[in-house]
A = this chain, B = another copy of it.
Amino acid sequence: MTNDTFLKACLRQPTPYTPVWLMRQAGRYLPEYRAVRAKADFLTLCKTPALAAEVTIQPVDIIDVDAAIIFSDILVIPEAMGMELIVEEGKGGPRFPSPLRSSGDITKLFIPDPTDKLKFVMDALSLTRRQLNGRVPLIGFSGSPWTLASYMVEGHGSKNFRYIKELIYNEPKLAHILLDKLAKAVSLYLSAQIEAGAQAIQIFDTWGGILTQDAFEEFSLRYIKQVIAETKTNGAPIIVFCKDCGHSIEKIASTGCQVIGLDWTIDIGDAKKIVGDRVALQGNMDPTILYSKPEIIRQEVKSILEKFGKGSGHIFNLGHGILPDIPVEHAREFVRAVKEESSRYHL
């Protein structure tokens, strides 16, 4: 591998600088991505390995990140479990026209063989891995069982999450049946991704933060733990990113993951004090800072590097996905600033 800084940092091994990648780095802010999307709709892009590989590698070429993350969507797994998934251009996010609303709906879901139903993801990973040819490591990913369940029960993104909350409070046993099924499906899916070429895994728990701390432990964290325990990692590090869950850093560190992803509402220095040398940390710049002037971007990068301080175990990233209207030059300056400013912390 030409550049293994990302994998080394995941394992808290020394690197010459702090490696950096961006959540949603293969995305709309890149003209090259928009050019590919002009030829194929979103799901076709996810399901066509040659195109998925092409956009996965774009940010490695264009903004010089230290890792690639496979282009896909967290909702392909509920689709593979038997739910109809619709992504229409310019009509909000993806949605399930028939969300889960009864125990019958939940019983009907099956646990898919990922090498069959999600073969397109595995093919995209293998192809990307070959095309990357060792330049940087390739990350695979999945939504957490809780986050997938939220989408599957609500039918789409939500403000108040009425239906999934009704499920966990009124019918907790049924919620656990759904989450256990999802945990099994996700661990098979992640094992297959690693087998197909993913060298690290990120679990996205986008909606863990809508829960009370007790409910977060019972309905989200517990199933993240199960996924990690049941995934055949073959040594690939696992990153757990729970948005808006700064309250539970200590508990996330005990899930068996190697890295905790941090949003921007947590002070990375405080997080480091909490986790000690148990796990590495990834993050955590406010994505809206990339709207700012290059000198402000650099100043904020320096501030986060200083909070983390000397030593290994930090992967620089945004605290959430890069926004679609960020100027490419700002993303490039972000990556450049991390690499230039971080070397002094790695002597």
Contacts and interface: CB of A to CB of B under 8 A. Distances in A.
Nearest to A285: B212
A28 to B, nearest CB: 13
Contact of A166 (B162, B169, B265, B291): B291
Contacts of A325: 162
A293 B165 CA distance: 12
A323 interface: yes
A161 interface: yes
Contacts of A212: 264-265, 267, 286
A170 B213 CA distance: 35
Given A212-B286, A246-B247, A291-B162, A170 B265 contact: no
Nearest to A165: B288
Interface string A283-323: 00011110111001000100100000000000000000001
Contacts of A165: 286, 288-289, 291-292
Q: How large is the interface on A (under 10, 10 to 19, 20 to 34, 35 or more residues)?
A: 20 to 34
Interface string A177-216: 0000000000000000000000000000000010111110
A265 B286 contact: no
Given A165-B292, A209-B265, A214-B267, 18 more contacts: A160-B288, A165-B286, A165-B288, A165-B291, A166-B292, A170-B292, A211-B265, A212-B264, A212-B267, A212-B286, A213-B266, A244-B265, A246-B246, A246-B247, A247-B247, A247-B265, A247-B266, A247-B267
Q: Which 7 A/B pairs are nearest by Cβ-Cβ distance? A: A165-B288, A169-B292, A213-B267, A166-B291, A169-B296, A212-B264, A170-B292
21 contacts: A160-B287, A160-B323, A162-B288, A162-B291, A162-B323, A165-B286, A166-B288, A169-B288, A169-B289, A169-B291, A169-B292, A169-B296, A169-B300, A170-B292, A170-B293, A212-B265, A213-B267, A215-B286, A244-B244, A246-B247, A247-B266
